[in-house]
C-alpha cells in the first residue's frame, strides 16, 4: 500500500489527462476585487477540506484573505475557477504558487476545490493551468507538501506529473514536486 501511494518518480504522464470539465467553469487570474468571492469560498469549505489545505485547524489570520486576493504578480500566481449562478459569480476553486527560493526559481504551490466540485476533474484542470502559467513565468520547480493521508491530492499530483516522496524527517508529510525546465 505504501509503495502504491509513494514513489520517487511520477508514474503518470506529465501531460494531464483532463476529464470533460463542466462548460460553465471559467478559470482566470485572481483580482483584488475577488475578496468577497474568496471569503465566501473559504468559509464555505468543509472543516476537512480546510484542514487538508492549511495542514491544521487554525483560524484565518487577520489580513489573510486580503493577501490571498491582492497578490504581487512578480512573486505569486493565483488562478480561480468560477461558475455563474443566476447572474452572480461563485468561486469553486483556487490554485496558487509563490516564490520559495528566487535563486533556484523554486515556487511553492497549493490548491483547494469546493467540496461540491471535488472529484469532477476540476483539480486536474486548475493545477494544469497553474503549471502552464508557472512555466510561462520562468518557474523551474513547483513544490508543495501534503498530508500522507491526502489520497486525493496525491492522485491529482501524480496525474499532472508531479513526483511524490516522503518529506525528509517527517513521515506524516509528502513532498510533491514537478520540474518545469525539462
Cβ–Cβ under 8 Å, residues 154 and 173: no
Residue 53 as a binder of ligand COA (CB under 6 A): the answer is: yes
Choose, by CB under 6 A, the member of 5, 6, 21, 52 that binds ligand COA: 52
Residues 6+ apart with CB under 8 A from 94: 30, 38, 41, 68, 78, 79, 80, 81, 111, 112, 126
* HSE (side-chain half, CA atoms, 13 Å) at 11: 10
Count of residues of this chain found to bind ligand COA when the rule CB under 6 A is applied: 23
CB 122 within 8 A of CB 159: no
Q: Are 61 and 93 in contact (CB under 8 A)?
A: no
Q: Which of 92, 122, 164, 180 binds ligand COA (CB under 6 A)?
A: 122
Shortest approach of ligand COA to residue 87 CB, angstroms? Answer: 25
Does 141 help bind ligand COA (rule: CB under 6 A)? no
In the list 153, 164, 174, 178, the residue contacting ligand COA (rule: CB under 6 A) is 153
Is 26 a binding residue for ligand COA by CB under 6 A? The answer is no
Q: Is 98 in the site for ligand COA (CB under 6 A)?
A: no
Please tell me whether residue 124 binds ligand COA under the rule CB under 6 A: yes
Q: Does 96 bind ligand COA (CB under 6 A)?
A: no
CA atoms within 13 A of residue 48's CA, in its CB half-sphere: 7
150 binds ligand COA (CB under 6 A): yes
Nearer to ligand COA, 49 or 70 (CB): 49
- Interaction site with ligand COA (CB under 6 A): 49, 52-53, 110-113, 118-124, 144, 146, 150-153, 155-156, 159
Amino acid at each position: 500500500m505504501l509503495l502504491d501511494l509513494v514513489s520517487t518518480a511520477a508514474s503518470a504522464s506529465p501531460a494531464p489527462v483532463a476529464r470533460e470539465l463542466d462548460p460553465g467553469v471559467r478559470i482566470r487570474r485572481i483580482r483584488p476585487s475577488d475578496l468577497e468571492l474568496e471569503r465566501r469560498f473559504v468559509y464555505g469549505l468543509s472543516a476537512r477540506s480546510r484542514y487538508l489545505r492549511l495542514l491544521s485547524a487554525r483560524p484565518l489570520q487577520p489580513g489573510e484573505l486580503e493577501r490571498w486576493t491582492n497578490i504581487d504578480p512578480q512573486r505569486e500566481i493565483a488562478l480561480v475557477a468560477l461558475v455563474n449562478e443566476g447572474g452572480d459569480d461563485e468561486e469553486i476553486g483556487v490554485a496558487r504558487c509563490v516564490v520559495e527560493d528566487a535563486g533556484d526559481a523554486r515556487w511553492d504551490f497549493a490548491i483547494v476545490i469546493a467540496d461540491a466540485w471535488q472529484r469532477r476533474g476540476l483539480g486536474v484542470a486548475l493545477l494544469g493551468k497553474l503549471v502552464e502559467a508557472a512555466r510561462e513565468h520562468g518557474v523551474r520547480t513547483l513544490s508543495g507538501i501534503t498530508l500522507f493521508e491526502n489520497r486525493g491530492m496525491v492522485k491529482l499530483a501524480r496525474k499532472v506529473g508531479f513526483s511524490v516522496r516522503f518529506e525528509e524527517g517527517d513521515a506524516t508529510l509528502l513532498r510533491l514536486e514537478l520540474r518545469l525546465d525539462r
